[in-house]
Amino acid sequence: MSVTISFLGGAGTVTGSKYLVRHGTECLLVDCGLFQGYKPLRLRNWTPLPIVPNQIGALLLTHAHLDHSGYLPLLAREGFTGPVYASSGTRDLCRILLPDSGHIQEEDAAFANRHGFSRHAPAMPLYTRQDALDCLPLLKAHDFGLTFQPLPGWRDTFSPAGHILGAASVLLEVAGRRILFSGDLGRPDDLIMNPPAAAPAADTVLIESTYGDRRHPKEDVLEELGPALQKLARRGGVAVIPVFAVGRAQALLHVIHLLKLRGDIPTSLPVFLDSPMAVHTTHLFEQHQDHHRLSSSETRALTHSATMVNSTDESRALASRHGPMVILSASGMATGGRVLHHLALRAGDHRNMIVLTGFQAPGTRGATLASGAKSVRIHGHDVEVKAEVVQLQSASAHADSNQLLAWLRTMPQAPDQVYVVHGELNAADEFRKRIERDLGWRVIVPEHSSTWPT
């Protein structure tokens, strides 16, 4: 019997990753992500999967970012009861991210209902914080490099992928076929994360392509962010920095700490981390010391380099503060959460600055800001943008096209088939061409909901 993969997300787009592997009557899902960005993509979150959730035998997570894990509470609420296997870092992060995701969706729905800007009456969250809490017992941790059976006769091995705490590549072996899922690959020169491990031998490879059409600049993030914050401090403005609570927030805290140590920015410049999820994640770096590059002292410095903002009252209090100051707040593409309130308040002042720190998926507010738009829609209102928008080119936690290709070259031999996934269409197709030209391998960019053999 053949082994097939159905691309239920992360195909033709950089979000919603879900890959359903079937063999006979058994099936397993690799990643379980939310769609983000354009409204037609977000609407896919509300469309039932083409399989009854209780027919999925097990689930493997490459990492905890919501575009890879954030659909899990809904899948469990709809009937999935199987085990969810992940690295220990991913398990611990999911315990933070998933309830927070449910809470944010409840808050956003409640806000929409109070202010009447939703087209639905009443606006409903996709899932709740309680739904997320209910699914957490399904999470089971396995160490990197140790092979286990997610289903009888199926074998899985996690290997480090860099990118964020706990991120893994997945080698799945079933019916004599070896399928390698890259997950999101980190940069070999990342400031805080270890480099990805070499790719193992496989018959079929699914490779991400977020930066499949780009190369990172030689300039590092300290050289980019330092002058921007110097300028901000001189004019007394407020920098609002939308950050992913996992990975990007900690990287930016480390960079700001280094800039102060070097004297590149004033040591007195106040920094606030306004995201309970990011605050809790920062403390996890101490518990997973072997998953990253930071020394013990550098890890401790993360928690002391900013004022940690937990409560909503503390967050609201920031509104009455004047600059200069820096506010880091989730989410990284300004799709929801507390950062929207900071943007709505600060975007209209030319002294202020909005710092975008990585890839902004099309259709997100982050992409709107990056495009130079004069206004951005927040909570049903068009907010004028007079603040300086700075987009950092060197802060990404994703491998670029050269680094992705270098990772593929570490495979002991050529695979039979490569599928380019988790990238916008142009990025995915450009990377497909590079693989064909430079490696001579068979490669396809699969369409959403398509099914292919391994």
CATH of residue 333's domain is: 3.40.50.10890
Q: Where are the alpha helices (DSSP H) in 54-196?
A: 66-69, 72-77, 88-115, 129-135
Last residue within a domain, chosen from 372, 391, 410: 391
Pick the last residue of a domain from 349, 369, 391. Answer: 391
Q: Is the peptide bond before 195 cis (omega within 30 degrees of 0)?
A: no
386/410 same-domain check: no
Indicate the pLDDT class of residue 151, thresholds 50, 70 and 90.
very high
Q: Which of 396, 397, 369 is nearest to 384 (CA)?
A: 369
Give yes or no: residues 176 and 255 share one domain.
no
Q: pLDDT tens digits for 306-315?
A: 999 989 899 9
Measured distance CA(84)–CA(67) in Å, rounded: 16
Residues 139 and 268 in one domain: no
The answer to whether residues 252 and 328 touch, using CB atoms and an 8 Å cutoff, is yes
Question: Residue 398 and residue 210: Cα distance in Å, rounded?
Answer: 7
| Residues belonging to the chain | 454
Task: Find residue 7's DSSP bridge partners.
Answer: 19
pLDDT of residue 335: 86
- Judgement on whether residues 256 and 229 belong to the same structural domain of the protein: yes
Residues 40 and 177 in one domain: yes
Residues of the chain with pLDDT > 70, as a percent, come to: 99
Among 374, 391, 408, the domain-final residue is 391
Domain that holds residue 248: 221-391
Contacts of residue 369, defined as CB under 8 A and 6 or more positions apart, other chains included, come to 334, 354, 356, 360, 376, 385, 389
Residue 148 is predicted with a pLDDT of 98
pLDDT tens digits, residue range 74-102? 999 999 999 999 999 999 999 999 998 89
CA dist 448 and 375 (Å) reads 32
Rounded Cα–Cα distance for residues 5 and 452 (Å): 5
Q: From the centroid of its chain, how far is CA 80? A: 23
Q: Do 334 and 296 sit in the same domain of this protein? A: yes
Amino acid identity of residue 367, one-letter, is A
Please check whether residues 228 and 205 belong to one and the same domain.
no
CATH number, domain with residue 182: 3.60.15.10
Task: Evaluate whether 273 touches 307 at the Cβ level (below 8 Å).
Answer: yes
**Same domain as 210, residue 230:** no
Give yes or no for a cis peptide into 2 (omega within 30° of 0): no
pLDDT recorded at residue 229: 97
The answer to whether residues 209 and 329 belong to one domain is no
Q: Would you state the torsion angle of the CA atoms of residues 341, 347, 351, 352, taken in this order, to the nearest 10 degrees?
A: 50
Q: How many helices (H) and strands (E) does the chain have?
A: 14, 21
Domain count, the chain: 2
Q: What are phi and psi of 375, to 5 degrees?
A: -150, 160
Helix (H, G, I), strand (E, B) or coil at 228: helix
Mean pLDDT of the chain: 94
Q: Which two three-digit tokens encode residue 144?
A: 């990197």
Q: Which of 185-194, 214-223, 241-250 has the highest mean pLDDT?
A: 185-194
Same domain membership, residue 144 and residue 36: yes
pLDDT band for position 13 (cuts 50, 70, 90):
very high
Residue ranges of E strands in 357-446: 375-378, 381-384, 388-391, 417-421, 443-444
Q: Are residues 123 and 255 in the same domain?
A: no
What crossing angle do the helices spanning 276-287 and 88-115 adopt, rounded to 10°?
A: 180
pLDDT digits (tens, 9 = 90+) for 268-304: 999 999 988 888 888 899 999 988 999 999 998 888 8
How many whole angstroms separate alpha carbon 106 and alpha carbon 128?
Answer: 6
Instruction: Give me the residue label for tokens 């805080």.
Output: 192
Q: Are 170 and 310 contained in the same domain?
A: no
The answer to whether residue 118 scores a pLDDT higher than 80 is no
pLDDT tens-place string over residues 331-348: 888 988 899 999 999 999
Range of weakest confidence among 112-126, 165-179, 293-307, 375-389:
112-126
